[in-house]
Amino acid sequence: MASAAGEGSGDDVRTVDAVVVGAGTAGNYAAASFATEGYDVVVLERKSEDDAGHIACGDALKGASSFPEVIPRSYLESAITNDVVDHGRFEIPEHDTVLEIPVPGGLAVVDRWAYGKCIIEGAMDAGAEFSYDTVVQTVLQDDDGTVTGVRAVNDGDPITYRADIVVDAAGSMSILQDEVDFDGTTFDTNVSYDQFCSAYREIVEVPEEVPWKDALVFKPTERAAGYLWYFPRTGTEINAGLGFQMNEPPMKLIESLKRDLRNRPEFDGAVVKDKLGAALPTRRPYDSAVAPGFVAVGDAAGHVNPTTGGGIAGAAYAGSYAANTAIEAIEGGSVTEADLWGYNQNVMEHFGARYAALDVYNILSTAVDVDELMGLLASLPGEKLSEALYGGTTDFGWGLKARIAYRSLGYLGLILDCYRAKQLADELLAHYETYPTKPAGFESWQAERDRIMDEVYETTGAEPKY
């Protein structure tokens, strides 16, 4: 539980304006935003300085052309290794089909470790301080529940940080959220492991350039709630990985990936350069990611596209939104939920509503037969799938509907389920666009959202996710 008491008697005690826990994308953009405005901010990172930025990731960067200016794109250029990718390549071997799906907006593949170093450099140049080899043990709260800092161990020595605001950028299922007492707050605690995806990836060097250097390659696993990916950092360096939804029976990730690699001739003679695993939140964004003196950002707040696992650009904006809102609150002399609420609104308006609508399709995928779903996907036009994946919804003209119906006569039941799911996704998106402007309207907004979700479960036959 959270500590209402002060720091330990032997602790080194530091007082700063803001503490950011975690040196990932969201944490660095938050820190840079604080520092740019002259605020004293420290980033606590559990890894060593050498290992900081080494994170399991697919390396695909959606929205590469539009990141918050607080860390200019010029800092990221050296980490972008492939900027010719412009579409997804969805392989459906059971139906001898390759579906080409356009990806709108800026797209690139990065060296994630190099990218991590670049954004750390950007935050440092903005004026942020970094403390590596630092593990947070608990969170400090006043008697009224306001978070006032953290207690940590730095390279074996206890240290306490007192701050006006604590930013949780500690990643999926953050330990900080186990330590804070959220009683009486709106902060989303409806979080469990089965809303997450378990993933594993390897960086593989191949002898000859792959023929799909300009594409992000996806391939279904034996279950609909999982997929393999092959993302080309360069023509010969490939990020190869797979993941599965954790409400499904466990997969042997490494074994499944190795088996597929062996069956792909372009990987003959390949050498593994790096391997890493992680969990990521393939769920809707937190309903509220604020509590008095506390905000959660990036993976720690579910800021990931639940259908693709992509979350770098959203995390960057979330970090900036959180810091900018917190600065206004600090300058106003109060860091209550109401003072920090604008951060929730910014997230929902920018990408949160769209991600929540996309989660309907993620839920649907857990309740359908994988072979049937793949057959239906093979009959659909790639540009319309692109609109659904990246726009949150899509419309089909009558002529196109007729052609699709002819090609997919064997999937009429599933088509009806998908159509009903789309209607509910649209309804959910419209409801998220009415996200309350202050905490007072939050409970009634949640109640209506939950009513829509009940219809989603009833329509899809899926087990409730939340």
CATH 3.50.50.60 domain position(s) in the chain: 12-76+112-186+283-353
Per-residue model confidence (pLDDT) at position 382: 52
Q: Give the model's pLDDT for residue 383.
A: 54
State the Rg of the chain over Cα. 22
Residues 302-332, buried b or exposed e (16+ Cβ, 10 A)?
bbbbbbbbbbbbbbbbbbbbbbbbbbebbee
pLDDT at 3: 41
Instruction: Give CATH 3.30.9.10 domain extents, the chain.
Output: 82-105+194-279
Tell which CATH architecture fits domain 82-105+194-279: 2-Layer Sandwich (3.30)
Spatial CA neighbour of 400 closest among 412, 418, 382, 414: 382
| C-alpha to C-alpha distance for 88 and 91, rounded to whole angstroms | 10
In this model, does residue 5 exceed pLDDT 50?
no
The answer as to CATH 3.50.50.60 being correct for domain 12-76+112-186+283-353 is yes
| Closest to 456 (Cα-Cα) out of 288, 264, 284 | 284
Query: Residue 224: pLDDT above 90?
Result: no
Average pLDDT over residues 92-116: 85
Residue 390 has pLDDT above 60, yes or no: no
Whether the CB-CB separation of 435 and 353 falls below 8 Å is answered with yes
- Summarize the confidence of residues 163-179 as an average pLDDT: 96
Residue 227 burial by Cβ neighbours in a 10 Å radius (0-12, 13-18, 19+): buried
Task: Show the CA angle centred on residue 60, arms to residues 105 and 50, nearest 5°.
Answer: 135
Q: What is the mean pLDDT of residues 65-81?
A: 91
Q: What is the mean pLDDT of residues 236-243?
A: 95
Measured CA to CA in angstroms, residue 221 lies from 12, 225, 229, 252 at distances of: 50, 8, 10, 11
The answer, yes or no, to whether residue 122 has pLDDT greater than 70, is yes
Report CA 424 to chain centroid distance, whole Å.
23
pLDDT higher than threshold 50 for residue 326: yes
Compare 366 and 377 and report the one with higher pLDDT. 366
As a whole number, the mean pLDDT across the chain is 89
Residue with tokens 């119906």: 405
Asked if the model's pLDDT at residue 19 lies above 90, the reply is: yes
Q: In the prediction, which pLDDT does 134 show?
A: 98
Entry pTM: 0.90
State residue 292's pLDDT score: 98
Nearest to 366 by CA among 280, 283, 451: 283
Q: Which residue has the higher pLDDT, 398 or 171?
A: 171
39-53, 142-156, 227-241, 381-395: least confident range: 381-395
pLDDT at 4: 40
Q: What is the DSSP string of 139-202?
A: EEE-TTS-EEEEEEEETTEEEEEEEEEEEE---TT-THHHHS--TTS-------GGGSEEEEEE
The mean per-residue pLDDT over the stretch 340-363 comes to: 96
